[in-house]
Structure 1
Amino acid sequence: MSKRLLFCLGLLSSSVLHAEELSDADIEGPSPWQSEVEFGYQSHSGNSSSKSLNSRLSAEYTSGRYRVNGEWKYYLLYKDGDEDKRQSTYDLQGDYKLGKKSYAYSSFKGYDSKYSAYFTDYTLSAGLGYQFTNTETLVLEGEIGPGFRYQEPNLDEIDDDDIIFPDTVHEAIVRGNLAITWKPIKSLAIGTEFTIVAGKSNIRTDNEFSVVNEITDDIALKIVHNRQYHNKVPNGLSNTDSVTSINLLFLF
């Protein structure tokens, strides 16, 4: 019995010594990086009625109290076989955790287009965010803060005497954002995000509703409806531009 006991103790001690030799690099944990690539088809309504192809890239890095995410969207629109529209949207945001549910954020959003009320719309903002709930099935976050907006108006003529407001905008704004993601089942995610940017010249609201259905662990089908609203536009133009897209989403 004593020989067997000594043999077992020897095996146990050698295992402990080997475990102590492992460094943090030897232990694999979840990656702090998450990235997505999207391709899809869009149909437009509002000031434009057409079809287009679109693409999207996004990445997020989370480490400790810090979270940084960036997104770039681009689509090219054709009419009668000729290039007719181009649009790019880019977002960059950094968050720093202040408490269990609260965080500070800084945000930049850029929007370049050839068919909406403004060619260029840039927004800088910083403020506070709060996670009302953050579980595997439901995430609800809200943000509010001051910022600055720059807009270059679209001077293309709609009719002979009907153009967009000719003034370039440089102004202080207040930005608010509310984002909700609900996962009723593991393979299905339903989300909506509402953003309002209010300034002296105009109030702009953006609303996105999305449904993501996982096909495999790395591929999903995503349906998105975006709606953009300006409270003031010239006569003859719609206040709302909307985009509906059906995309294949690749997860990395």
Structure 2
Amino acid sequence: MNKMLLVAAMTLATGFATPFTAQAGADFVEGDKTFAGEAELGATLTTGNTDTSSYKARLAMKHELGNWENQYLLEGLYKEDTDEVTAKRYFAGIQGDYQLSDRSYLFANTNYEVDPFTGYDFTSTTSAGYGYRFIDTPDMLFKAEAGPGYIYQKLDDENALVEGEDSVDSIVGHAVVDFEMKISDSSKFKQRFIGDWGDKLDARSETSLTANIVGALAMKFAVIVRYNSDPLDDKKSTDTETNMTLLYAF
């Protein structure tokens, strides 16, 4: 019951944050009542002796309104090899930041991820806490967030039989570290780390390099590493993903 109350409180806090901040994005305009974002898409198709297809899509949006900065994020990954699905992952997240000063803020977020190859039907994470921008200049950003959270994972039918339960949950410590650096007038480096530490450690690291092609169109290269310190019996603890995509800022 206490866990359910915690989730409800965090979700309501997120819901009342009418505007939100996104996990990544273009160089968003500062000030009141602004909205911006970026769309990302990549695909690989082969036919003949090898019949494969893979798709990567991402949509990040940011809305600023007074002291609130709101972020919305949608991601999807799908891979198929000779009519067999080899990867499928969908993610939706929303976060609201309330600015206390130019550098500090309070945040509340909730995320939902579907990745059947981990042995879970879905994973839901909710957290809230405090964030601080240590460096915030036109050429560099370094910020960190930390606070309590709650993670709930629904096991698929096969693993539910093995584990003897249909779900696992835990109170976690949630932490995020973001670093962005402008390399040149047309390129930017980003490093993002997200960790949830409770009964186990669930972490994600994303390293990316973005280079403008023309106008608002850019090429993005990214390496994503996901880590689970206590995977299910037949699963590996580390997943990696390497992407080359086109990115459009709006």
TM-score range for the pair, normalised by the shorter chain length: 0.7 to 0.9
CA spacing shift, 1:178–1:51, aligned 2, 3 Å = farther
**Number of residue-to-residue matches in the alignment:** 212
> What does 1:169-208 align with in structure 2 at a 5 Å threshold?
169-200=168-199, 202-208=200-206
Once the two structures are superposed, residues 168-221 of structure 1 have per-residue CA deviations (whole angstroms, 9 ceiling, x without a partner) of: 112211100000010021211100110110112x21111001111011121000
Distance 2:112 2:235 in 1: 22
2:8 maps to: none
CA spacing shift, 1:236–1:114, aligned 2, 3 Å = closer
1:18 maps to: none
Q: Which runs of 5+ in 2 are unaligned?
A: 1-30, 45-51
- C-alpha contact (below 8 Å) 2:32/2:64 kept by paired residues: no
2:95 maps to: 93
1:145 aligns with 2:147: yes
CA spacing shift, 1:110–1:165, aligned 2, 3 Å = farther
- C-alpha contact (below 8 Å) 2:186/2:211 kept by paired residues: yes
Distance 1:107 1:240 in 2: 25
Identity percentage of aligned residues: 23
1:245 maps to: 243
> What does 1:132-171 align with in structure 2 at a 5 Å threshold?
132-156=134-158, 168-171=167-170
1:221 maps to: 219
- C-alpha contact (below 8 Å) 1:139/1:180 kept by paired residues: yes
3-state SS of 1:238 partner: coil
3-state SS of 1:115 partner: helix
1:70 maps to: 72
Once the two structures are superposed, residues 38-71 of structure 1 have per-residue CA deviations (whole angstroms, 9 ceiling, x without a partner) of: 11147xxxxxxx8621111111012332100101
Query: What CA RMSD, in Å, does the superposition of the two structures yield over aligned residues?
Result: 2.4
2:23 maps to: none
Q: Which runs of 5+ in 1 are unaligned?
A: 1-28, 43-49
1:122 Cα offset (Å): 0.7
Once the two structures are superposed, residues 11-42 of structure 1 have per-residue CA deviations (whole angstroms, 9 ceiling, x without a partner) of: xxxxxxxxxxxxxxxxxx99711121111147
Distance 1:63 1:88 in 2: 28
> What does 1:13-162 align with in structure 2 at a 5 Å threshold?
32-41=34-43, 52-156=54-158
- C-alpha contact (below 8 Å) 1:165/1:234 kept by paired residues: no
Report the AA paired with residue 155 of structure 2: P
Distance 1:31 1:212 in 2: 27
Distance 2:191 2:74 in 1: 18
3-state SS of 2:214 partner: coil
Scaled by the length of structure 1, the TM-score of the pair is 0.77
Distance 2:243 2:162 in 1: 29
1:47 maps to: none
Once the two structures are superposed, residues 77-113 of structure 1 have per-residue CA deviations (whole angstroms, 9 ceiling, x without a partner) of: 2120344543211110000111231100001111101
Scaled by the length of structure 2, the TM-score of the pair is 0.78
